[in-house]
Structure 1
Amino acid sequence: MNTETKSNFEAVVFDLDGTLLNTLDDLAASMNRVLESHQFPSHPVGSYLHFIGDGARMLAQRALPEDQRNESNIRKLHHAFEQDYRDNWGVATKLYPGIAEMLDHLIKRGMKLTILSNKPHEFTLTTAGHFLANWNFQCVFGQREGVPKKPDPAGILEISQELSIPPQNMLYLGDSGVDMKTARAAGCHAIGVTWGFRSQEELLENGAENLIETPNELFPLIDSLQA
């Protein structure tokens, strides 16, 4: 790595679903219930790896049969999904292995922790508050009215302003191409995590500067970037 790109990192921005939390089973179960209740075909859980990542409305659109993706159906499924998920977000969701230890270690290093998700803001706050309450996250933002969703860098730039830390002094960890595009657009260092929902190829094609396969690989990477 070039010396020009080395920096003193003071904060980490995390994606939520597929990065900190394995939410796949609960998201898939909620959407499948909604699809079936509206007489649409459901999907295997694995299909949701490709549906998730661009917000609940896009999840509803992708889950519908292609010839049924009209505005009325999308709106109807989106609303019904949010109703169902509100009651079922914590059935199977859990932290990925090694996340708790990684967060502990980051705090010991004095780094600030934040979350930026395309999940609706209400659900981002609820799930983070339940599963991540042991750690102090300075900012937790989901998809909010009037704020462009990822890959627009607006959320990261807002976090940067809140923390008074420039984006170049922030790491961004995410599991999707959308995350990598967001990080690069904002000027953060983009780290792709391979334990989540999307492939290494997608991460690299969309600008990942590094890949890590387990949470504990983050620390030698940080040390090498700051050496």
Structure 2
Amino acid sequence: MIALFDLDGTLTNPKAGITRSIQYALERLGHPVPEADELTWMIGPPLIASFAKLLGSSDDAQEALRLYRERFGETGLFENEVYAGIPALLQNLQEKGVRLFVATSKPHVFARRILDHFDLSHFFIEIYGSELDTRNADKRDLIRHILDQEKFDPARAVMIGDREHDVIGARANDIATIGVTWGYGSRRELLDAGAACLVDEPRELEAPILTLTASMPPRAVTV
């Protein structure tokens, strides 16, 4: 039994750190700076693509990402909080023999620091994320990389995430996805992408994780 967890919007709520770091980058570039609530669509997807969409230029996006990391790497990654119920969920899954991994588009060097800071790293066998040069930022590539490294059967695994990118990446690698609704993707976004089911609270996650990871092949479940 294997569970891959997204980080932002699934394990932790990173809104303050991410939006403030985006605002910092935009201000440094001399671009208009939206309010934080207008930037939450950028939480989850690869930031380089989101900056390109926001700024209308891939060249500006590269500089925006550099400036974003300038602030995020010092301050923003700790402007974050663990969702209530997540540590208990991870503890219960670990005790039931589920092998836990992190699969985030965030660079793994930042992801590890965040999980260490909140004392969550010990629940996970490995923490996988993108490289600083943006390799594996696409969830399809990242999950393929995880499968190459860990050699587990995708039919005995499930991805847990809050955005369509989690679902798309998992489905491309024949892994079922549980969509969580406390993050930054809508219910419609997750269902349209093909999530096997939706869960509204961390305490409700254990049952579908155990059901899906015990299924061969994966199948939809109702929560």
Q: Does 1:59 align with 2:46?
A: no
Name the structure 2 match of 1:81. 68
Seen in structure 2, the aligned counterparts of structure 1 residues 146 and 28 have a Cα distance that, compared at 3 Å, is closer
Deviation sequence 1:125-151 (CA, Å, 0-9, x none): 221222244533112111125844334
Aligned to 1:39: 30
CA distance in structure 2 between the aligned counterparts of 1:129 and 1:216, rounded to whole angstroms: 22
SS in 2 for 1:80: helix
**C-alpha contact 1:14 1:173 (8 A) present in aligned 2:** yes
Aligned with residue 195 of structure 1, among 182, 195, 210: 182
Task: Answer yes or no: is 1:107 the counterpart of 2:100.
Answer: no
| TM-score, with structure 2 as normaliser | 0.86
Taking structure 1 as the reference length, the TM-score comes to: 0.85
Instruction: Report the number of matched residues.
Output: 213
Greater Cα shift, 81-90 or 134-143: 134-143
Rate the CA distance shift 1:60–1:222 in 2: closer, same or farther, 3 A.
closer
The letter of the residue matching 1:92 is E
Cα distance, 1:16 vs structure 2: 0.7
Query: Mean Cα displacement is larger for which, 27-36 or 89-98?
Result: 89-98
1:186 Cα deviation after fit? 1.0
Over aligned residues, Cα RMSD in angstroms?
Answer: 2.1
The alpha-carbon distance between structure 1 residues 71 and 161, as it changes in their structure 2 partners (threshold 3 A), is closer
Give me the identity figure in percent: 27
In the other structure, the counterpart of 1:4 is none
1:143-222 map, 5 Å: 143-144=130-131, 145=133, 147-152=135-140, 154-222=141-209
Work out whether residues 49 and 198 of structure 1, in 8 Å CA contact, stay in contact via their aligned partners in 2. Answer: no
Distance 1:158 1:85 in 2: 25
- Are 1:11 and 2:8 an aligned pair? no
Letter of the 1:61 partner, please give it: A
CA distance in 2, matches of 1:143, 1:222: 24
The answer on whether the counterparts of 1:21 and 1:93 sit within 8 Å (CA) in structure 2 is yes
Contact 1:150 1:179 in 2 (8 A): no
Q: Is the 8 A contact 1:51 1:63 kept in 2?
A: no
Q: Which of these residues, 109, 114, 118, is aligned with residue 122 of structure 1?
A: 109
In structure 1, stretches of 5+ residues that fail to align are: 1-9
Deviation of the 1:75 alpha carbon: 1.9
Amino acid corresponding to residue 90 of structure 2 in structure 1: L
8 Å contact 1:157–1:167 — kept in the other structure? no
Name which of 9, 24, 29 aligns with 2:15: 24
Closer, same or farther: CA 18–146 of 1 in aligned 2, 3 Å: closer
Q: Is the 8 A contact 1:26 1:93 kept in 2?
A: yes
Structure 2 residue runs without a partner (length 5+): 216-223
Residue aligned with 2:127, SS: strand
What is the identity, as a one-letter code, of the residue corresponding to 2:110?
A: F
